[in-house]
């Protein structure tokens, strides 16, 4: 997608290093950064400068290629990168795609590039399939950022919106702010501004009320890992939206490439859920009136917090998966069928 008239992916190979957009600084600053060492790649994923399931998979893939080029131990590189974030299976898929052609650094970089391009092709194709669910002026509620920054380009949940906008359907997006790290308020809202999409920010807790008032036509979220039975891990708060959607008869779709499906994990209970530092709940950061970005503590200093980064939405709450090979039901058969279909190139 374009930023200030220039085409970007969330991460890219930059000669002998990896370039990336530092997503922690959005929306108030747009800056790119460079990872030259394996440790810097791991840190960028861990601190969420680079985030979103498909994007961390691509970053991991380039990280393996960088490790080969720098003469690092490839087994150690694989373990280090795999353990940066436990929930999104795309990270493992990206690492495996490149490790499978090791140790030749040239072949590994080619594999990383191919993985990157395949994720972008998938995201774009998700847009075509998902846009068919929208009509003129559809009001879409989305959670977190399953946008182009989370999927290298186009996004997963946002791709149907961007595609529909290009088809003249004028979609409207409710952006769920997504406490604690506010990926909706900070990143999805920024993407909507960049793309000129009509949108409105909503507190996470307001989403159920908007659904009850018939102001949401469809919910589309992304996913970090989809188990063999269709249970889906995604950003904390997704499950609440799914429950509210079911209670109010609103269709709830999960948009994800096939790299997010983990058929080796039988159900959602077996998906590891990342717990992050309580500081992410206790502190909030934003632009103050004097134009400076500040971080402030909200609760009393004595108060502790808990910070599960993801939750699990049971398959029976999901209307369908929007994938690059079409829309499939959230059932084992639906998933198996998706893997039999030809993938876009
Ligand atoms: O913790 P994050 O910001 O990496 O979590 C991101 C999400 O939960 C996204 O919805 C998911 O990765 C899908 S991205 C296309």
208: left (phi over 0), alpha (psi -120 to 50) or beta: alpha
pTM for this predicted structure: 0.98
Q: Which of 153, 224, 231, 311 is catalytic?
A: 224
Mean pLDDT, rounded, for 213-222: 99
Among 92, 144, 149, 241, the mutation site with the greatest number of ligand 1 atoms within 8 A of its Cβ is: 144
C-alpha 51 – ligand 1 centre gap (Å): 7
**Residue 224 is a catalytic residue:** yes
For the segment 60-86, what is each residue's pLDDT rounded down to a tens digit? 999 999 999 999 999 999 999 999 999
Residue % of the chain over a pLDDT of 90: 99
For the segment 307-324, what is each residue's pLDDT rounded down to a tens digit? 999 999 999 999 999 999
Kindly list the protein residues whose Cβ atom lies closer than 6 A to any atom of ligand 1.
51-54, 88, 144, 146, 150-151, 156, 183, 222-224, 234-235, 309
At residue 51, the pLDDT reads 98
Which band of pLDDT confidence, cut at 50, 70 and 90, is reported for residue 154?
very high
Is the model more confident about 5 or about 101? 101
Class for domain 130-338, per CATH?
alpha beta
Residue closest to 327 by CA, chosen among 207, 172, 220:
220
Among 145, 176, 188, 242, the mutation site with the greatest number of ligand 1 atoms within 8 A of its Cβ is: 145
Atom 6 of ligand 1: nearest residue by CA position? 52
Per-residue three-class SS string for the chain: CEECCEECCCEEECCCCEEEECHHHCCCCCCEEEECCHHHHHHHHHCCCCCCHHHHHHHHHHHHHHHHHCCCCHHHHHHHHHCCCCCCCHHHHHHHHHHCCCCCHHHHHHHHHHHHHHHHHHHHHHHHHHHCCCCCCCEEEEECCCCHHHCCCCCCCCHHHHHHHHCCCCCEEEEECCCCCCHHHHHHHHHHHHHCCEEEEECHHHHHHHHHCCCCCEEEECCCEEECCCCEEEECCHHHHHHHHHHCCCCEEEECCHHHEECCCCCHHHCCCCECCCHHHHEEEEECCCCCEEEEECCCCCCCCCCECEEEECHHHCCEEEECCEEECCCHHHHHHHHHCCCCC
Atom 15 of ligand 1: nearest residue by CA position? 146
At residue 339, the pLDDT reads 98
C-alpha 53 – ligand 1 centre gap (Å): 5
For the segment 232-242, what is each residue's pLDDT rounded down to a tens digit? 999 999 999 99
Residue % of the chain over a pLDDT of 70: 100
Which band of pLDDT confidence, cut at 50, 70 and 90, is reported for residue 10?
very high
For 292, half-sphere exposure in the C-beta direction (CA atoms, 13 angstrom radius) is 4
Domain pair 2-123 / 130-338, same fold: no
C-alpha 150 – ligand 1 centre gap (Å): 6
The pairing of beta strand 261-262 with beta strand 225-227: parallel
Atom 2 of ligand 1: nearest residue by CA position? 52
Tell me: pLDDT of 216 over 90: yes
Name the packing angle between helices 53-69 and 90-99 (round to 10°).
30
Among 9, 20, 53, 92, the mutation site with the greatest number of ligand 1 atoms within 8 A of its Cβ is: 53
C-alpha 146 – ligand 1 centre gap (Å): 6
Class for domain 2-123, per CATH?
mainly alpha
Ranges of each domain in the chain: 2-123, 130-338
Tell me: pLDDT of 345 over 90: no
Mean pLDDT, rounded, for 96-103: 98
At residue 44, the pLDDT reads 98
At residue 150, the pLDDT reads 98
For the segment 116-144, what is each residue's pLDDT rounded down to a tens digit? 999 999 999 999 999 999 999 999 999 99
Query: Mean pLDDT across the chain, nearest whole number?
Result: 98
C-alpha 225 – ligand 1 centre gap (Å): 10
Atom 8 of ligand 1: nearest residue by CA position? 235
Mean pLDDT, rounded, for 288-316: 98
């Amino acid at each position: 997608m374009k930023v200030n008239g220039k085409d970007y992916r969330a991460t890219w190979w930059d000669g002998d290093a990896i370039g990336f957009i530092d997503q922690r600084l959005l929306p108030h600053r747009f800056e790119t950064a460079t990872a030259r060492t394996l440790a810097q790649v791991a840190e960028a994923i861990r601190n969420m400068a680079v985030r979103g399931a498909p994007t961390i998979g691509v970053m991991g893939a380039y990280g393996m290629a960088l490790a080969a080029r720098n003469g690092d131990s490839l087994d150690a590189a694989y373990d280090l990168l795999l353990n940066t974030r436990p929930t999104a299976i795309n990270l493992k898929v990206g690492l495996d795609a490149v490790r499978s052609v090791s140790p030749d650094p040239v072949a590994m970089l080619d594999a990383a590039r191919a993985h990157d391009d395949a994720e972008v092709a998938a995201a774009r194709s998700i847009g075509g399939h998902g846009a068919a669910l929208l009509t003129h002026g559809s009001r879409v509620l989305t959670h977190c950022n399953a946008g182009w920054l989370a999927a290298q380009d186009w996004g997963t949940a946002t791709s149907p919106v961007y595609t529909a906008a290009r088809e003249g359907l004028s979609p409207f997006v409710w952006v769920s702010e997504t406490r604690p790290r506010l990926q909706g308020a900070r990143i999805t809202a920024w993407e909507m501004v960049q793309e000129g999409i009509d949108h409105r920010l909503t507190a996470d807790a307001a989403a159920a009320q908007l659904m009850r008032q018939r102001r949401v036509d469809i919910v589309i979220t992304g996913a970090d890992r989809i188990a063999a039975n269709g249970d889906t891990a995604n950003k904390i708060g997704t499950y609440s939206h799914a429950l509210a959607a079911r209670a109010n008869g609103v269709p709830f779709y999960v948009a994800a490439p096939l790299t997010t499906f983990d058929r080796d994990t039988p159900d959602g209970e077996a998906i590891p859920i990342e717990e992050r530092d309580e500081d992410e709940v206790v502190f909030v950061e934003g632009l103050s009136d004097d134009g400076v970005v500040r971080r402030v503590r909200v609760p009393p200093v004595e108060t502790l917090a808990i910070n599960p980064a993801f939750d699990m939405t049971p398959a029976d709450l999901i209307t369908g998966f929007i994938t690059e090979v079409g829309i499939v039901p959230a059932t084992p058969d639906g998933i198996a069928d998706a893997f039999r279909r030809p993938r876009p190139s």
